[in-house]
């Protein structure tokens, strides 16, 4: 697959994004950017959410992780479904009742300004790091396939791709993102399904025999009920999946912006549950593809790359593969990455403008000035993301999806703890000390993780998020004092 083919594929897809962005951003204002005007039909949002939950990291890393971890990831995805149901039942009604633009406004109403700022800053750190790691994978692949053969440095690669993403999200905001996510969902599913068909055909597997060939392969192992000390133990993965979904979807401004674009709470809840179930089957497709990639490497006598993230790209660009497989690989990768990065930039812009700068309140009577502030923040978020991608490129050693969830375990833990304590207790807290709790919780959680591994040989997996949240809740309880029942009923 030549660099020219990759460039043409990217240019064609980006032209579609620009066209959709232009149509979606007609008559756009600040309300359209932040909430989509709350007029988006819920089935459209549900389809968009499939693509929104799948980033370039998922596209690259999930098929590759089959080599070392089999289908263990599905244990966590099962937990995601339960997490989505909890979000629909508990969080969505609260957010709609309070007519929130930024979900972290709940913390201000429940506890005070310190808690509000803490939640907003933890989200900012979580999203800027997580989005950068996700988009780093795409930039690294483009570097290998296009930039390196043409002698283009990685830094320029990052600058150009970030600029392209900024361009199609600068005006339309959430409304643009939902429509581009629909396109992304279709492109992702088609590209993965067709790659499965083409790779199976090369390996001599008939279409009807694909399921049995996959299930007979050693990599198709799914359940781990044997050793509770391992990170892939079923109940650890399943329970962590529930709370990871709640934290990274229900308590994430990026994901909730889409759900808050629905007409009402009932529509949003339908969308949330349907998208959670569909995600399970889409992730299953990625894992099936991973097994076929393993079968392909065995047929040609090739070694699986040391970094599992490189497996899909290695097979797609192999000289024996038809060009269409390489095109489908690039199409799926950029459709996942461009939309996810654009989504992150929009949510970061929304949260920073509203939660940290308080610009929506200060400039409520001056929409033109608010728009200028929002545009400047959008540019700044793009620049920061680009810098983090470059740093991660120099330091990265782990598979990217593990890095994303490890970061999420540290940074979303305090957010999860704040919301759980606010929703399920009747107590208020000494608000000015809450930021210190949110800083201390990840540090204490790291110490607990290290101690368990050092002295008990216990491998802490993604349940680190729960430890972090529990430490946060304990800290909040120490700072708490009782309030009247009437106040609590009103606040929750």
Give mean pLDDT in consecutive 10-residue pieces for the chain, a chain of 492 residues: 76 76 57 52 71 69 80 89 92 85 84 89 83 76 80 88 75 63 78 87 87 87 79 83 86 76 81 84 88 88 74 78 80 73 76 81 78 85 86 66 70 90 90 94 92 85 84 94 54 46
Token pair for 345: 């930039």
Q: What is the pLDDT of residue 435?
A: 94
Of 59, 281, 74, which is closest to residue 188 (Cα–Cα)? 59
Q: What is the pLDDT of residue 401?
A: 57
Q: By the 8 A CB rule, do 62 and 225 touch?
A: no
Question: What are the structural domains, with CATH classification, of the chain?
Answer: 3-491 (1.20.1730.10)
Q: By the 8 A CB rule, do 94 and 423 touch?
A: yes
Q: Which residue has the tokens 């409520």?
A: 364
Q: Considering just the CA atoms, what is the radius of gyration of the chain in Å?
A: 22
Residue 184 CB-density burial (10 A; 0-12 exposed, 13-18 middle, 19+ buried): buried
Q: What is the pLDDT of residue 490?
A: 42
Q: What is the pLDDT of residue 434?
A: 94
Q: Which residue has the tokens 């204490």?
A: 444
Q: By the 8 A CB rule, do 378 and 172 touch?
A: no
Dist. CA 396–CA 399, nearest whole Å: 8
Q: What is the pLDDT of residue 323?
A: 81
User: What is the number of other CB atoms lying within 10 angstroms of the CB of residue 229?
Assistant: 12
**HEC profile of the chain:** CCHHHHHHHHHHHHHHHHHHHHHHCCCCCHHHHHHHHHCECHHHHHHHHHHHCCCHHHHHHHHHHHHHHCCCHHHHHHHHHHHHHHHHHHHHHHHHHCCCCCCCHHHHHHCCHHHHHHHHHHHHHHHHHHHHHHHHHHHHHHHHHHHHHHCCCHHHHHHHHHHHHHHHHCCCCHHHHHHHHHHHHHHHHHHHHHHHHHHHHHCCCCHHHHHHHHHCCHHHCCCCCCCCCCCCCHHHHHHHHHHHHHHHHHCCHHHHHHHCCECCHHHHHHHHHHHHHHHHHHHHHHHHHHHHHHHHHHHHCCCCCCCHHHHHHHHHCCCCCCHHHHHHHHHHHHHHHHHHHHHHHHHHHHHHHHHHCCHHHHCCCCHHHHHHHHHHHHHHHHHHHHHHHHHHHHHCCCCHHHHHHHHHHHHHHHHHHHHHHHHHCCEEECHHHHHHHHHHHHHHHHHHHHHHHHHHCCCCCCCHHHHHHHHHHHHHHHCEEECCHHHHHHHC
Q: How far is CA 189 from CA 49, 102, 370, in A?
A: 13, 31, 38
Token pair for 18: 């620009």
Token pair for 257: 């912006």
Dist. CA 208–CA 265, nearest whole Å: 42
Helix axes 73-86, 56-69, angle to 10 degrees: 130
């Amino acid at each position: 697959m030549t660099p020219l083919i990759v460039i043409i594929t990217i240019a064609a897809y980006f032209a579609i994004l620009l066209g959709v962005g232009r149509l979606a951003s007609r008559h756009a204002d600040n309300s359209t950017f932040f909430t989509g005007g709350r007029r988006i039909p819920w089935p459209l949002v549900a389809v968009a959410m499939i693509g929104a939950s799948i980033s370039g990291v998922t596209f690259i890393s999930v098929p590759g992780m089959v080599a070392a971890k089999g289908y263990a990831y599905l244990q966590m995805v099962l937990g995601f479904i339960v997490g989505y149901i909890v979000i629909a039942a508990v969080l969505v009604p609260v957010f709609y009742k309070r007519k929130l633009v930024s979900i972290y406004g709940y913390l201000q109403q429940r506890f005070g300004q310190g808690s509000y700022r803490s939640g907003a800053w933890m989200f900012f750190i979580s999203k800027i790091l997580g989005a950068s790691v996700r988009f780093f994978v795409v930039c690294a692949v483009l570097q290998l396939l296009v930039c390196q053969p043409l002698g283009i440095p990685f830094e320029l690669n990052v600058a150009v791709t970030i600029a392209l993403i900024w361009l199609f999200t600068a005006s339309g905001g959430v409304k643009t993102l939902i429509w581009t996510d629909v396109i992304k969902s279709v492109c992702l599913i088609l590209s993965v399904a067709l790659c499965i068909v083409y790779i199976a055909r090369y390996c001599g597997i008939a279409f009807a025999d694909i399921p049995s060939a996959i299930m007979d392969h050693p990599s198709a192992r799914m359940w781990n009920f044997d050793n509770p000390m391992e990170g892939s133990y079923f109940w650890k993965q399943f329970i962590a999946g529930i709370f990871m979904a709640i934290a990274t979807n229900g308590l994430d401004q990026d994901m909730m912006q889409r759900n808050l674009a629905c007409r009402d709470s009932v529509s949003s809840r339908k969308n949330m549950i349907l998208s959670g179930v569909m995600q399970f089957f889409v992730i299953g497709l990625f894992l099936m593809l991973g097994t076929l990639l393993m079968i392909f490497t065995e047929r040609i006598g090739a070694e699986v790359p040391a970094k599992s993230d490189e497996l899909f790209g290695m097979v797609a660009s192999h000289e024996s593969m038809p060009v269409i497989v390489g095109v489908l690989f690039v199409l799926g990768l950029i459709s996942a990455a461009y939309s996810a990065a654009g989504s992150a930039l929009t949510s970061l812009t929304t949260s920073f403008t509203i939660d940290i700068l308080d610009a929506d309140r200060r400039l409520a009577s001056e929409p033109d000035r608010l728009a200028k502030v929002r545009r400047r923040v959008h540019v700044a978020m793009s620049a920061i993301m680009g810098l983090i991608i470059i740093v991660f490129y120099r330091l990265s050693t782990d598979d990217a999806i593990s890095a994303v969830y490890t970061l999420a375990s540290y940074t979303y833990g305090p957010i999860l703890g704040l919301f759980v304590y606010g929703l399920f207790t009747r107590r208020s807290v000494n608000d000015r000390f809450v930021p210190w709790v949110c800083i201390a919780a990840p540090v204490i959680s790291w110490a607990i993780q290290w101690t368990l591994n050092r002295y008990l040989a216990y491998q802490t997996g993604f349940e680190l998020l729960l430890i972090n949240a529990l430490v946060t809740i304990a800290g909040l309880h120490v700072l708490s004092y009782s309030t009247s029942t009437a106040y609590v009923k009103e606040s929750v």
